Amino acid sequence: MRSAQQILADAQVIAVVGASRDPFKAAHRVPLEMQRHGWRIIPVNPTADELFGEPVYRTLADIPHPVDLVDIFRPADDAVEVVRQAVGIGAPAVWLQLGIVSPQARRIAEEAGIDYVEDRCLIVERAAAGLTRRS
């Protein structure tokens, strides 16, 4: 299993499930910050059409191209189904944001052989490792 920082170093395309239109929410600020550092952010939200200058998809299955990481901004109970969907699309890694912990989601990811991170923040890990995709 890769470390959180290695997952970020390897990823180029991050699908963000639960991406928010509200600029005061972490589910808006975190993906925007990752985008500013060069990652391609693919928002997944059933009620928005465009976020961060990208089209919004209703579900992970609707994304027409591979993603390297599925970042989850949903409650732990919802994360279980999102991890199942991530496995279904062949995502190599899932990441539950700070404060989100799910033993069941972890078990699903481990059984599928995909990398799993929980209760950690993308931008904190990015900053700690000094990672950027900008040249």
- 63-93 pLDDT, tens digit per residue, is 999 999 999 999 999 999 999 999 999 999 9
Q: Judge whether 110 lies within some domain.
A: no
- Determine the pLDDT at residue 1: 85
Q: Judge whether 113 lies within some domain.
A: no
CATH number at residue 77: 3.40.50.720
pLDDT means per 10 residues in the chain (135 residues)? 94 98 97 97 96 97 98 97 98 97 98 98 96 85
| Cα gap 98→63, rounded to integer Å | 25
Q: Judge whether 21 lies within some domain.
A: yes
Q: Judge whether 135 lies within some domain.
A: no
Q: Judge whether 109 lies within some domain.
A: no
- Determine the pLDDT at residue 135: 64
Structural domain including 19 reads 4-98+120-129
Number of compact structural domains in the chain: 1
Q: State pTM to two decimals.
A: 0.97
Q: Judge whether 78 lies within some domain.
A: yes
Q: Judge whether 114 lies within some domain.
A: no
Q: Judge whether 106 lies within some domain.
A: no
Give the helix, strand, coil percentages of the chain, each rounded to 5. 40, 20, 40
| Cα gap 24→6, rounded to integer Å | 28
